[in-house]
Amino acid sequence: MRKLNVAILGCGFWGKNHARVLSELESSNLVAVADIKEERARTIGEKYHVKWYTDPMKIMERKDIEFVSICTPTITHAQLALETIKAGKHVLVEKPMTNTVEEAKEVIEKADKEGVHVMVGFIERFNPAVRKAEELIEKGEIGDIVLASSKRVSRWPERIGDVGVIKDLAIHDIDLIRFLFQDNVKQVYAVVGSLAHKYEDYANIVLRFKNGKSAFIEANWLTPRKIRRLIVTGTEGILQVEYINQEVLVENDKMAYQPFFTYDEPLKLELDYFVSSLLRGEKPTPSGEDGLMALTICEAALKSGKTSSPIDLSLS
């Protein structure tokens, strides 16, 4: 089986996890890492016996690298993604895809022009509990979806320094609910504020979809207990997903039960899927367009929070 030669930009908290998984996958061959902090780059490079650099352009210059995983701060995503695309390499960029909607559009345009694939790291799509929930919804286990609500709360993670809670936490549920609803958002209303941090650290977001469904997303960096939960209400039942424990609970008017499925690491499933898609020559999802949609909704939520008014979107 052919292996895809991969490299990682950013050896911080999340980059270390990417390095571990990509070095373990049978379909990938980790060949290089880069970080502007020499100690971090050296530590990861020596641990996995690969070349390490403090200059990301060294990664771009290497002809043997086919795919680059970008795990750097959000404000650097666009520039690094564009350099990677220019070098003719496929890109997986952690969420949020870029810092602004305009940057995301440019990345998509350049990737299409150069014929390379871009995937955005919405890891919850690969959570086995979410996959089981998707399967049950498709089977009509809870009837037609009416609405969804999510709670993604915890203390502020020290790894975050350039975005607020909406683009760091809520964006996961924004993407996932779009994915499960198979529809686009037409209106966003949000209550947003900052109690203890530079950027917003709490947000309550209401999404109205084109097909009439709605969703409520609660996210904050203030709650001492970490909670990651999604509840989907249908005409015939309710489905609850616990992301951390990978548990699903289904309730209807006759019973409540927890379906069985195998526990697995979402990041491993995500990276294996991306590498396998590239080896098969297939366009992976979540795509750059998915990243753009989620970012557009995030920016609408931030605008709504400032204006205290709903923001109408015209997403195709």
* 165 and 116 share one domain: no
* 169 and 306 share one domain: yes
Neighbours of 58 (CB within 10 A): 14
Please say which residue of 121, 150, 183 terminates a domain. 121
Place of tokens 């424990």: 245
Q: What is the pTM of this model?
A: 0.95
> Strand (E) positions, the chain?
4-9, 28-34, 51-53, 67-70, 90-94, 118-121, 145-155, 185-193, 202-209, 214-220, 222-234, 238-242, 247-251, 256-257, 311-312
> Whole domain around residue 202: which residue ranges?
124-267+296-312
What residue type is 297 in one-letter code?
A: I
* 79 and 179 share one domain: no
Contact 72, 83 (CB under 8 A): no
| Mean pLDDT of all residues in 17-30 | 97
Neighbours of 148 (CB within 10 A): 24
3-state secondary structure at position 268: helix
pLDDT digits (tens, 9 = 90+) for 69-123: 999 999 999 999 999 999 999 999 999 999 999 999 999 999 999 999 999 999 9
Contact 167, 298 (CB under 8 A): yes
Please say which residue of 88, 121, 154 terminates a domain. 121
> Across all residues in the chain, what is the average pLDDT?
96
Lowest mean pLDDT among 115-119, 157-161, 210-214, 256-260: 157-161
Contact 157, 198 (CB under 8 A): no
| The two three-digit tokens of residue 303, written as one number | 């605008």
| Residue 279 belongs to some domain of the structure | no
* 212 and 111 share one domain: no
Neighbours of 38 (CB within 10 A): 11
Which ranges of 92-245 would DSSP assign to H, the alpha helix? Answer: 101-114, 128-138, 165, 171-181
